[in-house]
Amino acid sequence: MNKSELLSLFSSDYEKYYKVSLFEKLGFIRQSCSICSRFFWAIPQRSICPDHENYTFIGNPPTSRRFSYTQTWEKIRDYFKENGHTIVNRYPVVCRWRDDLYYTIASIVDFQRVADNKVMFELPGNPLVVPQMCLRFNDIENVGVTGRHYTSFCMVGQTCDADSKGGYWKDRCIELDFGLLVDIFGIPPAEITFVEDVWIGAGAFGSSLEYFVRGLELGNAVFTEFEGNEKNHRVLKNKIIDMGAGLERLSWITNGTPTSYDCTFEPILKRIYDTSGIDNPFSSNGNFNFQSKILSDYFSRISAKLESTSDVLQVKKQLAQELSIDFEKLQKIVVPYESLYTIIDHTRTLVFAISDGSLPSNVGGGYNLRVILRRTLSLLKQLGLGLKVGDIVDMHLDQLQPLYPELMDYRNDIHEVLEIESKRFLETQERIVAISTKIKKGKTMLSLDDLIRLYESDGSHLIIWLKMHFESVPANFYTRLSELHSTSRSEKRDKNGIQFG
């Protein structure tokens, strides 16, 4: 079944699929986007859907409340607890209970049990909320660049079985999510837009409502209602609500910092700014200097632009023009922050993955860890911060202790694994420079495939060399590497043709 066909089918019967009681009660108007024709619900009249909007909350958040990353979780936890939800501890990021996944990629995965090609749900509470760390390696290139992409992020999962005791359906779900934004975060109702969408999984599907504030998608409430396919389907005996919202984004919307990394990693960044040569662009009592002004303008625009193209370099050149700044000068301002955000993101991913028993290696999911560790080490070297990856591990553990106290038990293991891997990397570095210089002699430019073959066959790190010889690593290099190593399991899943039951 085709996603857009299903969407028009559901949208043609919007009273049934999308009109929740809150919309009626508060006078939300159903509108169609003048650019992409998608339907959305908002109190004020708007001509376009949030997909095409810049991030207008940057430098100007829609609320006077400011919540740090860990505070944001505490607010969410208390709110849902008061509203009758069981708060569940996170599940491991290493997804051992599913044969088709290496890592937990979404909160709903926690509760899915696959047997005989059927997915069953096992909910330890109904309704429940879980702060689930998720690992995703399909967007590595965007990490540090868009202001909102991560290889590991916390998906706040609000999950319920609508047809079992304690369960609820669309009206109550949207009422709760709206209440969180308005009553807890202090966001005015007129700022919130709900976009009609659909979700199609293996053997099941349903409608969904994505909610946005000032161009930023905060969450997506999926209503898994049917099993089967378009031609032959029936209503599930136990309909499932799967609302997922990014903790990083919820904290970001209250702070309005240039990137979500600035608030997600705030205590870590502060320590690095204090001890390294990198300026804290936001230290001066909220008064933006030239550099922080450029960063804010830059990050408020780049995401919407990357929705329509994946050519980051092209987008950056375009932005330099828009901001009336020389491209090279823009790069000089932006790139160190991108690198720093990437280092911190990748290190956090390693903290969770190693704690939960995954190791950097040349096979399976371990390969992704090796790729991000090598990338982290080369970026650290380039930035010349005088910091080791282990130092950043400790900063993460300090910050995450209130949220995930179990990580503290693995501090020594994480250090040990990273030291061994880092040593291996440094030992091969010189050898690689020699080999690659030899290859370079014969060619003026290597293709992306050449590079991937080299990286694969040698099993060591070429990036430093690449940076020495070319302006930057070719676009999509890391994503392609990750794809090469992650296809086997997803192929397996596709062949399985899992049915929901």
Instruction: Report in angstroms how near the CB of residue 344 gets to Zn ion at its nearest.
Output: 33
36/120 with CB nearer Zn ion: 36
* Binding-site ranges for Zn ion (CB under 5 A): 33, 35-36, 38, 49, 51
Instruction: Report in angstroms how near the CB of residue 193 gets to Zn ion at its nearest.
Output: 11
Q: Which of 3, 236, 245, 235 is nearest to 120 (CA)?
A: 236
Non-local CB neighbours of 319 within 8 Å, separated by 6+ positions: 298, 301, 302, 305, 330
In sequence order, the β-bridge partners of residue 86 are: 128
Check: CB of residue 265 under 8 Å from CB of residue 152: no
Check: CB of residue 59 under 8 Å from CB of residue 46: no
34/117 with CB nearer Zn ion: 34
46/469 with CB nearer Zn ion: 46
Q: DSSP states of 139-174 as a string?
A: TGGGTTTSSS--SEEEEEEEEEETTSTT---HHHHH
Q: Can you tell me the distance from the alpha carbon of 403 to that of 154, in angstroms, rounded to the nearest whole number?
A: 11
38/172 with CB nearer Zn ion: 38
Encoding tokens for residue 4?
Answer: 């857009």
Q: Which of 288, 284, 25, 68 is nearest to 178 (CA)?
A: 25
Instruction: Report in angstroms how near the CB of residue 32 gets to Zn ion at its nearest.
Output: 9
Instruction: Report in angstroms how near the CB of residue 178 gets to Zn ion at its nearest.
Output: 21
Q: Which of 245, 78, 87, 91 is nearest to 173 (CA)?
A: 245
Check: CB of residue 166 under 8 Å from CB of residue 198: no
Q: What is the 3-state secondary structure (H, E, C) of 206-256?
A: EEEEEEEECCEEEEEEEEEEEEECCCCEEEEEEEEEEEEEEHHHHHHHHHC
Non-local CB neighbours of 211 within 8 Å, separated by 6+ positions: 177, 178, 181, 192, 193, 194, 195, 217, 218, 219, 220, 221
309/361 with CB nearer Zn ion: 309
Check: CB of residue 91 under 8 Å from CB of residue 110: yes
Instruction: Report in angstroms how near the CB of residue 59 gets to Zn ion at its nearest.
Output: 24
Q: DSSP states of 76-128 as a string?
A: HHHHHHHTTPEE-PPPPSB-TT-TT-SB--SGGGGGEEEETTEEEE--SSSSE
Check: CB of residue 136 under 8 Å from CB of residue 167: no
Instruction: Report in angstroms how near the CB of residue 192 gets to Zn ion at its nearest.
Output: 17
For residue 281, whether the previous peptide bond is cis, meaning omega lies within 30 degrees of 0, is no
32/318 with CB nearer Zn ion: 32
Instruction: Report in angstroms how near the CB of residue 195 gets to Zn ion at its nearest.
Output: 8
Q: Can you tell me the distance from the alpha carbon of 188 to that of 178, in angstroms, rounded to the nearest whole number?
A: 10
Instruction: Report in angstroms how near the CB of residue 52 gets to Zn ion at its nearest.
Output: 5
34/321 with CB nearer Zn ion: 34
Q: Which of 232, 229, 211 is nearest to 221 (CA)?
A: 211
48/475 with CB nearer Zn ion: 48
38/370 with CB nearer Zn ion: 38
Instruction: Report in angstroms how near the CB of residue 31 gets to Zn ion at its nearest.
Output: 10
Instruction: Report in angstroms how near the CB of residue 33 gets to Zn ion at its nearest.
Output: 3
Instruction: Report in angstroms how near the CB of residue 40 gets to Zn ion at its nearest.
Output: 8
Non-local CB neighbours of 328 within 8 Å, separated by 6+ positions: none
Q: Can you tell me the distance from the alpha carbon of 81 to that of 75, in angstroms, rounded to the nearest whole number?
A: 10
Query: What is the rounded end-to-end Cα distance, in angstroms, of the chain?
Result: 19
33/333 with CB nearer Zn ion: 33
49/173 with CB nearer Zn ion: 49
Instruction: Report in angstroms how near the CB of residue 216 gets to Zn ion at its nearest.
Output: 15
Encoding tokens for residue 301?
Answer: 């625009």
49/351 with CB nearer Zn ion: 49
